[in-house]
Amino acid sequence: MSNTKNLFDKVWDLHTVKTLESGQDQLLIGLHLIHEVTSPQAFEMLRDRGLKVMFPERTMATVDHIVPTQNQARPFEDNLAEQMMSAIEKNCREFGITLLDVDDVRQGIVHVVGPEQGLTQPGMTIVCGDSHTSTHGAFGSIALGIGTSQVAHVLATQTMALGRPKVRQVKVNGELGPGVTAKDVTLYIIRKLGVQGGVGYAYEYAGDVFDRMSMEERMTVCNMSIEGGARCGYINPDQTTVDYLKGRPFTPEGAAFDKAAEWWLSLASGPDAQFDDVVEFDAADIEPTVTWGITPAQSVGVSESLAPVSDYPEDEQTLIKEAFRYMELEENQPIKGQKIDVAFIGSCTNSRISDLREAAKVVEGRHVSEHVKALVVPGSQLVRKQAMEEGLDKIFIEAGFEWREAGCSMCLAMNPDKLVGNELCASSSNRNFKGRQGSPTGRTLLMSPTMVAAAAINGCVTDVREMLSAVTA
């Protein structure tokens, strides 16, 4: 393939069926992931038109958003959740789609399950009726969140019409300091570029920081692309990608795998690849990061204080004032030491086995502050099983955390896990919008799983580096 083409353009061109009169391209979709919230209406659209699912073998369903993480007995206590569950069961039976329901050991959050099962592979076009589909870009795929009407279109035609975005390369080079995680890197990028900075772009994450990351860390970075306004984000496939995929249930085997791996690696952006824009950051400038406001870009390093409104551009000051009021925080206030009420480790951003391992290192031998409700929600049943085999559940439970079943949980509170009143939650999830975690006055501080663990133990925002140094001392 051309060395002047970046991966995004290579994959886009390979999947272009034709260019439409509108100027959009009709793309073939390699993998369609669906869940219980955005699919019921799509299936009704098919029924209304007498259509079938064109390629059911290219569609995989799971349940995650509405699934309770405590009592999973059927029928669910929430009638609407039970209706959604029944609908996806019926739809998958009728249209011949594989469903990973709560009785299937493979069930979990859709963006955890896809990679875990080897469904997500380099060079694919992947869509799902969920904003954080960009997670799958960590494998070198074009992965896009879509709306309900588009879900119906993909089910019926296995294609969709899209305008080609520009491509921005986001480079981070250097050494990350102790206690600085992939979550901190992506929050830092969003802080610097803004929540609208990526509009009209796909992001290619490049540089030695991403090269050194594990696949699970890369998924965290790509997951948050949408929060920076990008249509999607991706990282070029390399040996780390190949090693992760080998032996997964849906990847090829033997010689077929070797052939696939060779092709996957050929997709990487060439040394002379062209981009519409390039931005560069120094890893040494990144420290453990905490959002303080009502957008993921409103964040600070844990050692910083909250800048006064006057420090912001005039056109941002109204939103900044609103954020201070809603979050009940003050100008010039240090973020470190801010009292929390709830600590949540989970979500499609940070609920994988490596996230739980790192958080467990922080809490082992310690106990959750008496005024904090703390919960750990694994991203899939397989993650939960592996964590229990490693004894991580015991570490969390002994430290005073609640150990839950797999699901989206408190990330978006379409299930029983919700904030109450104006509780302040230290969360490893991806959105801190008003009311995001279930209470119209609930407040969210986004941070890494290790930072959440530290906050749970001390009852306030804590610099995890201090606790990690105590562990190694």
* pLDDT by residue, tens only, the chain of 473 residues: 567 899 999 999 999 999 999 999 999 999 999 999 999 999 999 999 999 999 999 999 999 999 999 999 999 999 999 999 999 999 999 999 999 999 999 999 999 999 999 999 999 999 999 999 999 999 999 999 999 999 999 999 999 999 999 999 999 999 999 999 999 999 999 999 999 999 999 999 999 999 999 999 999 999 999 999 999 999 999 999 999 999 999 999 999 999 999 999 999 999 899 999 999 999 999 999 999 999 999 999 999 999 999 999 999 999 999 999 999 999 999 999 999 999 999 999 999 999 999 999 999 999 999 999 999 999 999 999 999 999 999 999 999 999 999 999 999 989 999 999 999 999 999 999 999 999 999 999 999 999 999 999 999 999 999 998 776 55
Strands 424-427 and 443-446: parallel
Measure the CA–CA gap between 364 and 179, rounded to whole angstroms.
Answer: 16
DSSP calls for 363-390: HTT----TT-EEEE--SBHHHHHHHHHT
pLDDT score at 413: 80
pLDDT score at 3: 74
Verify that 123 and 205 share a domain, yes or no: no
Residues whose CB is less than 8 angstroms from the CB of residue 135 and which lie 6 or more positions away in sequence, other chains included:
111, 114, 115, 143, 219, 222, 223, 348, 349
Peptide bond into 75 cis (omega under 30): yes
Strands (E), 174-208: 201-206
Verify that 298 and 424 share a domain, yes or no: yes
Copy the structure tokens of residue 309: 């409104």
The domain boundary residue, chosen from 285, 316, 339: 285
What 3-state DSSP class applies to 255? helix
Verify that 309 and 272 share a domain, yes or no: no
Verify that 50 and 97 share a domain, yes or no: yes
Q: Which residues are annotated as a binding site?
A: 348, 408, 411
Q: Which residues are annotated as a binding site for [4Fe-4S] cluster?
A: 348, 408, 411
pLDDT score at 469: 78
Q: How many domains does the chain have?
A: 3
Task: Please report, for residues 181, 217, 218, 282, 385, the alpha-carbon distance to residue 209 in angstroms, rounded to integers and kept in the order given.
Answer: 10, 11, 10, 9, 30
Verify that 228 and 151 share a domain, yes or no: no
Verify that 310 and 393 share a domain, yes or no: yes
pLDDT score at 233: 98
- Residue 109 lies inside a defined structural domain of this protein: yes
Verify that 183 and 141 share a domain, yes or no: no
The domain boundary residue, chosen from 112, 133, 162: 162
- Residue 256 lies inside a defined structural domain of this protein: no
pTM: 0.97
What is the CATH classification number for the domain harbouring 191? 3.40.1060.10
Measure the CA–CA gap between 127 and 142, rounded to whole angstroms.
Answer: 8
Verify that 450 and 303 share a domain, yes or no: yes
Verify that 170 and 157 share a domain, yes or no: no
Verify that 90 and 178 share a domain, yes or no: no
Cα 123 to chain centroid, rounded? 20
Measure the CA–CA gap between 162 and 165, rounded to whole angstroms.
Answer: 9
Residues whose CB is less than 8 angstroms from the CB of residue 109 and which lie 6 or more positions away in sequence, other chains included:
62, 64, 347, 348, 351, 379, 380, 406, 407, 408
Please provide residue 151's backbone torsions phi and psi, each rounded to the nearest 5 degrees. -60, -45
pLDDT score at 351: 98
What 3-state DSSP class applies to 342? strand
Domain with 186 in it: 166-242+262-285
Strands (E), 64-119: 98-100
- Residue 249 lies inside a defined structural domain of this protein: no
Closest by Cα among 23, 257, 11, 280 to 140: 11
- Angle 357-205-213 (CA atoms, 0-180°, nearest 5)? 25
Task: Please report, for residues 19, 41, 42, 44, the alpha-carbon distance to residue 47 in angstroms, rounded to integers and kept in the order given.
Answer: 28, 10, 9, 5
What is the CATH classification number for the domain harbouring 414? 3.30.499.10
Verify that 172 and 281 share a domain, yes or no: yes
Verify that 154 and 175 share a domain, yes or no: no
Tens of pLDDT, residue by residue over 57-93, are 999 999 999 999 999 999 999 999 999 999 999 999 9
- Angle 68-73-78 (CA atoms, 0-180°, nearest 5)? 50
Measure the CA–CA gap between 431 and 427, rounded to whole angstroms.
Answer: 9
